[in-house]
A = this chain, B = another copy of it.
Amino acid sequence: MVDIAARVWNHRWKIDPIVRSLIDTDFYKLLMCQSVFRRSPRTQVTFSLINRSTHIPLATLVDEGELREQLDHVRSLSLTRGESTWMRGNTFYGKRQMFTPAFMDWFENLRLPPYHLERVGDQYELTFEGPWPEVMLWEIPALAILMELRSRAVLETMGKFELQVLYARAMTKLWEKIERLRALDDLRIADFGTRRRHSFLWQDWCVQAMQEGLGQAFTGTSNCLIAKNRDLEAIGTNAHELPMVYAALAEGDTALARAPYDVLSDWHEEHDGNLRIILPDTYGTEGFLQNAPDWLAGWTGIRIDSGDPATGAETAIRWWQSRGEDPREKLIIFSDGLDEAKIAELHRQFAGRTRVSFGWGTLLTNDFRGLTSGDALAPFSLVCKAVAAEGRPTVKLSDNPRKAMGPEAEVERYKRVFGVGEQAEMEVVV
């Protein structure tokens, strides 16, 4: 039986929207947004899309009209009643009313602010300017839209069965990874793959496959919409944009040096338990930990998001020991460029010495490497970052100089203030 009504309904769509919900975003965005909404609601920021994979000519692959339609569609979205009910009523990290009534009232009335799009050569310049709590919510949908429009452009050239076999191959590939991960005792792993997913439907499939294939070892997804629809835990804490904006707003070097700790001090007031996760690499992990106040050593764990992950974890373990903490009670979350072999390796290396958890991103939700001719669907490194706050440029150093960003003079100043010396360059996988 053909469902005629469904087909007719589908005919009506002017476009097939990529992002269909304001909560089709990472959980940490909403947590951070609430924090920013409370503390810095009027701070003006600029977010900008940056294609680190310059060999991918995005503006050639993706039609500007289609891109505008997708971005415009996101601007038409508002929180639905069911989404609001979920955010207000659901338990996050074991806590009720994670989102305050004041924040929810604001969020329910929110529409995303305008975007600025310009084609420059083979790339797009896509920026968002306005109040921080509004602009920051563009990051994930903007990335997801560009990733999926690029996927669609490639998929459009393929035959019906070629398409089926493409997804068959992708499913097989992921399932074989899951089968190997299943062999790891006490694995804890979550989906962090929203921003650079192949597509929404594919991410949704990946999450469900992880759920069936890994059972309790699969702890949840960073994607709020999928968490809601699939009755999973929404996972995530905080990200680089907080220290980057705090740092940009700092007056003078002393305030700059203090900015990353101010971020966590604010977070400390708002959250406890498993939400107290340090992200130490914004301006170099070594210096950050050396100069950290003692109360930070009491936090639950640390997230390793750049540099060599084993080195970062060893650094964290030594730091906890030096502050009289027991690393076996601490949590290390690996979240940078993971694939199943690296996960297994890190798990072997650190399980038992500390609590270990993994946030698996792009190579969970977009590992189409080797599945098409010319590898046209291989994922690439697209980011959307806060590049300015109140007209001042932001800086990120991270533990991998290839991930650094900001004006050269400012980068040098930050390196000096944060005592960052030589850093090992590492390939940015995705």
Contact = CB atoms under 8 A, between A and B. Distances in A.
Interface of A: 1, 3, 5-6, 9, 159-162, 164-165, 167-172, 175, 208-209, 212-213
A161 B208 contact: yes
A172 B165 contact: yes
Contacts of A208: 161
Nearest to A170: B168
A17 to B, nearest CB: 16
A165 B175 contact: yes
A122 B3 CA distance: 44
Number of copies: 2
Nearest to A171: B168
A10 to B, nearest CB: 9
Of A3, A5, A164, chain B has the most CB atoms within 10 Å of the CB of: A164
A80 to B, nearest CB: 17
Contacts of A161: 175, 208-209, 212-213
Contacts of A172: 165, 168-169, 172
Nearest to A3: B3
16 contacts: A1-B3, A1-B9, A3-B3, A3-B6, A159-B212, A161-B175, A161-B209, A162-B175, A162-B212, A164-B171, A164-B209, A165-B172, A168-B169, A168-B171, A168-B172, A168-B175
Contacts of A209: 161, 164-165
A174 to B, nearest CB: 8
A216 to B, nearest CB: 15
A212 B162 CA distance: 8
A209 B167 CA distance: 14
Given A1-B5, A168-B171, 4 more contacts: A1-B3, A160-B212, A161-B209, A168-B168
Contacts of A160: 212
A9 B3 CA distance: 13
A108 B284 CA distance: 82
Contact of A1 (B6, B164, B212, B213): B6
A217 to B, nearest CB: 15
Nearest to A174: B165
A284 to B, nearest CB: 42
A386 to B, nearest CB: 38
Contacts of A171: 164-165, 168
A374 to B, nearest CB: 15
Nearest to A212: B161
Contacts of A213: 161-162
Of A9, A165, A209, A212, chain B has the most CB atoms within 10 Å of the CB of: A165
Contacts of A170: 168
A164 B170 CA distance: 11
Contacts of A3: 1, 3, 6
Contacts of A5: 1
A212 B161 CA distance: 7
A5 B5 CA distance: 12
A212 B9 CA distance: 29
A287 B228 CA distance: 73
A152 B209 CA distance: 22
A172 B212 CA distance: 21
A11 to B, nearest CB: 13
A9 B208 CA distance: 28
Contacts of A212: 159-162
A3 B1 CA distance: 8
